Structure 1
């Protein structure tokens, strides 16, 4: 299995150089399905790089993702949520949506953040299937972890501003906290408090303020 992991890394490198390594795709899925945590991690990484949402081989990974989402191992849950948020086919969303929503209440912030990003991806590829998740994003906007909060902002750049006009005060409050240096120092970039988060909030506020002078 360790040997296969090394071969998979080389296959990823070949594809990065522009050479097709489609013969290795099935082995990437097998690696994600079994082996140690590190083996699975390499397998999941290869799958996310090799395959797209419409690839037929993804169906072979569905049961593995469902199993890993129920795992007590945080690394396995993280890997499964990452793949779900990157390449999961939209026709399989109904089967996995309840589990992803459940992860929004997870005690670990990294799990909540990845769950928010997965739901955002679902909204992009199949908005009609996830109309009810808007309330989930409103809750995530108030999450005590800044990473989860910032992840929840993405969807507001895609929605119609009229549907969340009542959140103006929340966005302004968050922006004031960011500019005031209230976030952990990890969010700073060259001594500037979370510049990308500031830009994202300003973009959202510009959408809300368009054609609305008040």
Structure 2
């Protein structure tokens, strides 16, 4: 029997645009036969074709058990197809997910390649039950000898914490240790996860301020600095001492960074973090307003829009500073947002 490959399927779809439904019906009939085969290579090929068809809107839920079979394949290139299909097609209520717990436990203690594939797949298919059962393995992976595994484990752990928040009790200490990991990408992943976790309960993460402050003043990774600044924006309203501590390094970043995204995030954090209040905040407020005024004159409409939004938030505390840039507003395009800002400080 001749088996149609994924490439053949794609070519066939292109050649049968006028009778696509008939072509796909025939292809699915072939796949139903192939997927029952004891030949794992043939079964994986069938699952791969189904995954492609699923991306086009054709249901493959009937093949969920066969997807799990391919996930358990001993060869990594076949196993990867199974995890890809699961990530693409499984829903939270897919019944065969209960069969994957032991498979995932096995893969998470296997070769680095198997671990990487299973971590990536788990982050897409994790359920509250899987998160509960597999969180010990995920926490253990945070100390893996390979940095790319630690990084994947951190991100997969976050997905597990979203589904099963109670896991934070035995995961937090190990997670916080990763802020001092020797690999910068692992630190960046940790900061990203902590930033998301702190959005819900910022007061629970105030103890991390010293470590985060060290990263803020020593890192040159703009992406990570954005996350750290956002994190401090969540923390500072709950700890007044942080406001005074952060004013100088934030001012330095605003004054020196050429990265517009980081610059805006610093300005936004100053506003929501209460750093513009009091005598020490006046000079910082002036710096923020001058930077926002430059944004407003930029040709990029999106940049202009977010600058106007930020400027409107500064008006209640520093109306005189915003008023100094009335000519800038006049030169800007007349928009509802511009009118809104005018109304706030006029």
TM-score > 0.5, shorter chain as reference: yes
How many angstroms does 1:176 deviate by?
A: 3.2
Partners of 2:132 and 2:164 within 8 A in 1: no
Match of 1:203 among 217, 222, 230: 230
How many angstroms does 1:9 deviate by?
A: 2.1
Matching of residues 45-84 of structure 1 within 5 Å? 45-71=84-110, 73-84=111-122
What does residue 188 of structure 1 align with? none
Deviations 1:87-137 (A, max 9, x none): 122123343222222111111111111221222112111112432322122
Cα distance in 1, alignment partners of residues 72 and 209 from structure 2: 45
Deviations 1:56-105 (A, max 9, x none): 1111222211111121x111111222222221221233432222221111
What does residue 208 of structure 2 align with? 167
Cα distance in 1, alignment partners of residues 182 and 203 from structure 2: 26
Cα distance in 2, alignment partners of residues 150 and 16 from structure 1: 32
How many angstroms does 1:138 deviate by?
A: 0.9
Matching of residues 40-119 of structure 1 within 5 Å? 40-71=79-110, 73-119=111-157
* TM-score, scaled to structure 2: 0.53
Instruction: Name stretches of at least 5 consecutive residues in structure 2 with no aligned partner.
Output: 1-39, 245-346
The answer on 1:38 being equivalent to 2:77 is yes
Compute the RMSD of aligned alpha carbons.
Answer: 1.9
Deviations 1:156-198 (A, max 9, x none): 332322222232232232233333xxxxxxxxxxxxxx44322
Partners of 1:122 and 1:130 within 8 A in 2: no
What does residue 137 of structure 1 align with? 175
What does residue 15 of structure 1 align with? 54
Higher alpha-carbon Rg: 2
**Secondary structure at the residue paired with 2:100?**
helix
The answer on 1:122 being equivalent to 2:160 is yes
**Secondary structure at the residue paired with 2:57?**
coil
CA distance 1:18–1:144, shift in 2 (3 Å): same
Partners of 1:53 and 1:90 within 8 A in 2: no
Q: Which region of structure 1 is more displaced relative to structure 2, 140-149 or 94-103?
A: 94-103
Q: Which region of structure 1 is more displaced relative to structure 2, 40-49 or 27-36?
A: 27-36
Cα distance in 1, alignment partners of residues 196 and 46 from structure 2: 40
Partners of 2:142 and 2:175 within 8 A in 1: no
Cα distance in 2, alignment partners of residues 133 and 35 from structure 1: 30
What does residue 189 of structure 2 align with? 151
Cα distance in 1, alignment partners of residues 211 and 66 from structure 2: 47
Cα distance in 1, alignment partners of residues 169 and 102 from structure 2: 25
**Secondary structure at the residue paired with 1:119?**
helix
What does residue 182 of structure 1 align with? none
Higher relative CO (Cα under 8 Å, sequence separation at least 6) belongs to 1
**Secondary structure at the residue paired with 1:141?**
helix
How many angstroms does 1:35 deviate by?
A: 4.0
Partners of 1:85 and 1:118 within 8 A in 2: yes
